[in-house]
Chains A and B, each alone.
Chain A
Amino acid sequence: MDFEVSEFQTELADGIRRLCEGAFPLDVVRRGESTERVVDRDGWRRLGDAGVFHLCLAEESGGVGLGLAEAVLVLEELGKALVPGPLVASHLAAGLIDGADDGSVVVGLVERPVAGAVGARTFPVVVEHLADIDVLLVLSDAGIERLDPATLDATLLPRPMDPLTPVWSLPSLPAGEPVAGPEVAAWWRRDGAVLTAALQVGMAQWACDLAVEYAKGRVQFGRPIGGFQAVKHLCADMTVRAEVARCAVQAAAVTVDQPDVGDAEVAAAGAKLLADEAAITNGRSCIQVHGGMGFTWEVPAHLAYKRARVLATQFGTVDALAEALATSLAAD
């Protein structure tokens, strides 16, 4: 048993970080704010060339043949860079949808609302990134269906909550072409939760780093505010939260790769729950540490908080995940 990140894994993550610094500097990413399209197709293909989407695809299918353990390290870096777009959906779709693996095709994903669920009679279907995606996949317990986004009669919503996640609404989803069955849907849910959690950990870390940097430089009462315990302890808690969630996410990924070490479904649910909470809480703490500046659009603190809220609605809400975990303890 050695749960340390290996040298190879560290190098892989470092490579993705450098790629993001070159292809997705924040000031460039932010040019897409509040527009219909936020995916830079060249950047997306560079992610594809770097293996981001086909990392876990078997070598005989043209992939790299690595595990989810490597994928979460890569996704954490993409989270830290706040890279916009349907990263997890496109990763999952590699091998199922032609062109997803090399980034030439951008794939989106949405859950088909379940009849009888809370809100199902009330809420329209809300879909992210419709103008950027070439294929929309619809996930349900029965399997995965494929829709052509151009054929959907969807309305672009003004003022998206996350300025880098444009959203559309439509009253209901038409039936699509079935492309996978219930087994694939089940592992997509599990792996999707772990990969989304990895993005959340990246953003939790990013929010922490931004807050610490500000706390070191901002002077009030004649001292950097990071010297005051009230601020220092907020920052310390952010670090601990990110680290605990990171361990949960990496353990869940390893459990998916090595199924004999534990229950992968339970590990995935716990990891997503903690990563959602870490990203949301750190996002808010980051704004708080910035004081009034944190409430301005210009300071990017709000971006991680808002994106964390978007990702928290995908692959299981905190409440649903907590319910699933509780059920796992009462199974007999």
Chain B
Amino acid sequence: MDLRYSDAEQAFRNDLRAWLEETLPGLPARPSPDDWPGRRAYDTHWQRLLFDAGYAGVDWPVEGGGRGSSAVEELIFKEELERAHAPYVGVNFVGLLHAGPTVIAEGTAEQRARFLPPILRGDEVWCQGFSEPNAGSDLASMRTKAVRDGDDYVVSGQKIWTSHAEVADYCELLVRTGPEDSRHRGISWLILPMDTPGVDIRPLHTIAGSTEFAELFLDEVRVPVANRVGEENDGWRVTMVTLSFERGTAFVGDLLEAFELLNTTVALARRTGAWSDPGVRRQVGHLKAELDALWALTRRNVSQAARTGIPGVGGTYFKLAYSETRHKLGEFSLALLERAGLAAHDLEGIDGEGLLPAGVMVEDWLRGISLTIAAGTSQIQRNIVGERILGLPKEPQAAAPGAKG
């Protein structure tokens, strides 16, 4: 167990830090949260800057166009970007953290050559078409159907929670290629060009007021068979590869942001006088202990990934624990704000000390509510831990349609 960074890792950090100091002041102003074309332009411009500087796909293999560095350097990369308040991956999330790694692991040589470089350059944006209105936690029951017709699949159905759909060029799409009741055994993973006729996008409004999600309606959409990643009906296994990345180190930036939010709450508590309450201080102490432990768990997971190349079960542990801590942090922030938290807006304090950070705190509390739901609810994660790690008996499976009960 060694938490010291090697000379090479330290050099990588120093170079990156210098590049960020030089580059960030030149960035344009950030677009408003609902200006999706503006956000696409901003996020992809940032990705292009990373690409030109050699920082795109830090832990992607060189064959995939990446830097070929270890998971440890990817961790340093995320750490330094967060520390410098650099832009987040934004609309590049699905391409860089889901679709790209999946194409690297499962795509053909042609698919890798066609789809990976534009992701890294920020030329093309991806979205995700996995969940359906009737297939959430039970993803294997999805029904969006793909029927083979010559060199195409003809796809009809409906997807939900498709983030950044409005500005995406491609969608990683799960479709049913097997019989209706084939569940895990009849799913394929397709690359859907979003400008194909028959694709209809309807934005969803979240409880946080944000608009990054959409519903996707697919009506006889033709997708070339050449756009299938992995074998026909083998899409479930391909999907598990994708999800292991999502549950792996994808939350590093988020965790570092939580440390900063905790510091914001401490500053607010000291400013308002709440700090004199031992109960308040103890809550801060607990949150600090939890965030530090999650940072230790992250370093454990990254060390495992650096050795094996794949995020292990630690990603599931992290997600379960982190989402709970984040809820606590959100509730704590809101309690500290009292009635100044009744609007997600930085309002002027009457103490002459400037703005109160209600905007970020209320936004963050709301956004945190999704963390025990998105990328597999905590309940599903606990089933996974209980069954696959602890070896407890499985949930009874629903009888297949038509089976005698």
Contact = CB atoms under 8 A, between A and B. Distances in A.
Contacts of B281: 322-323, 326-327
Contacts of B320: 236-237, 240
Interface in A227-254: 227, 229, 231-233, 235-237, 239-241, 243-245, 247-248, 250-251, 253-254
A2 to B, nearest CB: 5
Contacts of B4: 1, 258, 260-261
A273 B293 CA distance: 11
Interface SS of chain A: helix, strand, loop or mixed?
A: helix
Contacts of A223: 393
Given A4-B304, A227-B394, A244-B293, A323 B262 contact: no
Nearest to A231: B392
A226 interface: yes
Nearest to B319: A240
A9 interface: yes
Contact of A326 (B285, B379, B383): B285
A322 B282 contact: yes
A21 to B, nearest CB: 22
A115 interface: no
Contacts, number: 184
A16 interface: no
Contact of B285 (A4, A224, A226, A325): A325
Interface SS of chain B: helix, strand, loop or mixed?
A: helix
Contacts of B288: 266, 270, 325-326, 328-329
A216 to B, nearest CB: 6
Interface centre among B262, B307, B386, B394 (most CB of A within 10 A): B386
A322 B285 contact: yes
Interface stretch (B120-128, B155-163, B294-302): B294-302
Given A226-B386, A251-B296, A269-B285, 8 more contacts: A3-B296, A3-B300, A224-B393, A226-B390, A231-B392, A270-B288, A323-B282, A325-B286
Interface of A: 1-6, 9, 69, 212, 215-216, 223-224, 226-227, 229, 231-233, 235-237, 239-241, 243-245, 247-248, 250-251, 253-255, 258, 260-262, 266-267, 269-271, 273-274, 319, 321-330
> Which 8 pairs show the lowest CB-CB distances between chains A and B?
A322-B285, A227-B393, A251-B296, A270-B289, A248-B293, A232-B386, A325-B285, A226-B392
10 contacts: A3-B303, A216-B392, A216-B393, A227-B392, A229-B379, A236-B383, A239-B389, A322-B289, A326-B266, A329-B263
